[in-house]
Chain A
Amino acid sequence: MSSAGTADHPRDEDLVAYLDGELSLSDRQLIDQALSESAALRQRLELLRQGDRPFRAAFDTLLDQAPMDRLMAALPEPTLSASVVSTSKAPPPRPANDWQSIGVAAMLLLTLGIGFAVGFGTSSDRAGQREVALLAELDEMEAELEEAEAAADAAPVVAAKGWRQAVADYQMLFTTESLTPDQGGDAALALASERVGLALDPATRAATGLQFRRAQLLAFKDKPLVQMAYLGDDGVPVAFCIIASNKPEAETQYEVRNGLGIVHWIIGGYGLMVIGDLPEDRLNRIASDLRKSIDL
């Protein structure tokens, strides 16, 4: 990108590249800076974010419709050596699998996302009910996925995927506006503290560069899952989530799910994660702050 265009007035191209994670760290920081200084720019970013769609999931529905027999006609028969190789290797990923897992999830999210957007601003109760419904759906989906993975418990990595993916799917629905009104969450935080057996208040309200917006007590596979929602100074929704875990302790690790950055770790019988559309180093700093704030 042209940094010259970014420093003063980031253009739409730069904002879209920012959303797409295509900027260098230095360019990204310039945009972060500009966003922190301009409400109009933040608004523009949100507008452009609304031009996002589940493109890949939607188009993956077409893959099965490819007329393979006719397309294959242009290809010569595989040579003997090639066919031996191809049978000895894992088969190429089938597009059908792709859309069944990703597509259904994205469709569900979009359906509920729209419901959420419609409900938002009319009745927070209704929006809340939708969220609960969404979480229940996600839970079901996860359960189905887990069923297919018979040895889920024996494979901590697979099992650990479950809750982080559920949170990531949920987090995709959040916009700056979702969290613009401070929704308090004192009662929820107290309840959450009790249910997970951790003193979450008031320390977790204070993370550098984040404004605490609300706490929710959710559940994943019958285990209480606490979600604390924040807005970054630049309007980016960030969540800090905690779930009880019997997995071995693990240092912080970074990963990306649904295009959102995640820093997660396991300590003292809890799995914790910070998620948001932020650069890795910033998520690490937030995780480090929050980690200190909890007595574990």
Chain B
Amino acid sequence: MTDVDHETVRDGLEAHLPRLWRYGLSLSRNPSVAEDLVQSTCVRALERQAQFRQGTNLRAWLFTILSSIWKNNLRAEKVRTGGGFADPETELVFDGSASMETNNLFQRVLSEVSELPEAQRQAVMLVYVEEFTYREAAHILEVPIGTIMSRLSAARGKLAGLDPSATSARKTRDDEVEEN
């Protein structure tokens, strides 16, 4: 997608709020944590708006901030408070899903992505949903580009129903052990 050239970080934030919330939701699989993530992202982005260079990719900058907050703060907190990651109750199913009754296929895609391990889910969100390039996604998550590649490959393999052991046997990277 193309980025609108926003006059200010504040305007850019406003325009990207739904996307940031969606990303936060996919990371946390918890609507209230997603809201906290977005609000923290707003606060931090506004605090640091002097660091944002006009003409660079504001959306990528905001996603970087959100990813960092998730990694360093809320994720740990959620683990500590026993939120867990694999709780099927917190899958990506929403109040609004009634309006999507005709939309079972999309719902299935949401569920499938929701069930991916977090690292794969992040890569899928950034590259396939937000349509960042591999390089941008690597920058946002502060990982090597090869890590993005192996996460996407693992995610695709899983969605295609490939035997994970056969998939990982082909791997040379240990990215999968980061989490489960």
Contact = CB atoms under 8 A, between A and B. Distances in A.
B105 A110 contact: yes
A16 B25 contact: no
Interface in A35-56: 47-56
A186 interface: no
A152 to B, nearest CB: 23
Interface string A73-106: 1111011011001100000110100000001000
A61 interface: yes
Contacts of A1: 145-146, 149
Interface in B12-29: 13-15, 17-19, 21-22, 25-26
A58 B39 contact: no
B43 A48 contact: no
A270 B27 CA distance: 49
Nearest to A2: B146
Nearest to A98: B1
A51 B94 contact: no
A75 B14 contact: yes
Contacts of A48: 153, 156-157, 160, 162
Contacts of B22: 59, 62-63, 66
Contacts of A71: 17, 21, 35, 38-39, 42
B46 A47 contact: no
Interface string B113-129: 10000000000110111
A148 interface: no
B4 interface: yes
A16 B18 contact: no
B131 A5 contact: no
A264 B13 CA distance: 39
A123 interface: no
Interface residues of A, number: 53
Interface residues of B, number: 63
Given A17-B149, A48-B153, A92-B4, A107 B11 contact: no
Nearest to A94: B18
Contact of A68 (B8, B10, B18, B39): B18
B160 A13 contact: no
Nearest to B124: A55
B61 to A, nearest CB: 16
B10 A13 contact: no
A47 B125 contact: no
A66 B13 CA distance: 14
Interface of A: 1-2, 5, 11-17, 20, 22, 47-59, 61-68, 70-76, 78-79, 81-82, 85-86, 92-93, 95, 103, 107, 110-111
16 contacts: A2-B146, A17-B152, A22-B149, A49-B160, A56-B131, A58-B106, A61-B100, A61-B106, A63-B19, A63-B22, A66-B17, A68-B17, A72-B17, A74-B39, A75-B42, A107-B105
Given A70-B35, A74-B43, 13 more contacts: A11-B170, A13-B152, A47-B157, A47-B160, A50-B161, A52-B159, A54-B109, A55-B109, A57-B106, A58-B106, A64-B18, A68-B17, A92-B15
